[in-house]
Amino acid sequence: MKSVNQNIDRALSVLTAIAVVAMMLHVVAHALMRFFFNSPLYGTNEIVAFWWLPAIALLGIPAAHLQKEHIRVSLVTENLSTRGQNIFHIFASVVCAFTSVGFAWFGFEEAVKNMSIGSTAGVTDIITWPVYFLVPLVFATMTLLYILDIVRIVQTGRADLDPLTGEKVETDPAETTL
């Protein structure tokens, strides 16, 4: 299970890095073409807004989950027993998994609708409908990650394990209580 999480994290990191570098190169090429040749690249603002930024933002959601970078408020769970924490985390993971299934389902319906009408970026003819399929893909991945979290908690009896390393999550000194 740890290797599944590591492979998903690696794939997300590579895809996000590719999107960031591609966006950077696109914007720099646009600026250079506009400055030196007075001929900017057509549709750069639309491509950045409708392709690169959604890809970077959406791919960051499961990556942040895997790296335990989401904000956690432990006011309720910090004083619970290990068993209580496990039950709470399983319940939260089940709720989040169902929510992710809902986002994936409705995102897929929206993507199919946009594909059928051939969505474009505003008044330009730059197509945007393929990006809509990232939403169901990302939230299907999130569903899988929440299920893997539940399995990990049930197998190990610990909710505080890092999904990438299998070791206890390090706490930030700012989060510790006195």
pLDDT tens column, 117-157: 999 988 789 999 999 999 999 999 999 999 999 998 898 88
172, part of any domain:
no
pLDDT digits (tens, 9 = 90+) for 19-74: 999 999 999 999 999 999 999 999 899 999 999 999 999 999 999 888 888 777 77
Domain contains 116 = yes
**Domain region containing 15:** 2-166
> Is the Cβ–Cβ distance between 148 and 1 less than 8 Å?
yes
* Joined tokens for residue 146: 């929440």
- What is the reported pLDDT for 80? 84
64 touches 142 (CB < 8 A): no
Whether residue 137 is contained in a domain is answered as yes
Report yes or no on 109 lying in a domain. yes
Report yes or no on whether pTM surpasses 0.85.
no
Asked if residue 173 belongs to a domain, the reply is no
Question: With bands split at pLDDT 50, 70 and 90, how would you rate the model's confidence at 172?
Answer: low
Q: What is the DSSP string of 27-68?
A: HHHHHHHHHHHS-PPTTHHHHIIIIIHHHHHHHHHHHHHHTT
Mapped onto helix, strand or coil, the DSSP state of residue 127 is strand
What count of residues does the chain have?
Answer: 178
pLDDT beyond 50 at 177: no
Structural domain contains residue 176 = no
User: pLDDT band at residue 171, thresholds of 50, 70 and 90?
Assistant: low
Residue 45 lies in a domain: yes
The pLDDT of residue 176 is 46
- What local confidence, expressed as pLDDT, does residue 1 receive? 67
More confident residue, 160 or 147: 147
Query: Looking at the 3D structure of the chain, how many domains does it have?
Result: 1
Q: Is residue 175 part of a domain?
A: no
Q: What is the pLDDT of residue 5?
A: 77
- pLDDT per residue as tens digits for the range 99-125: 999 999 999 999 999 999 999 988 789
**Mind listing the pLDDT tens digit for each residue in 2-12?**
788 788 888 98
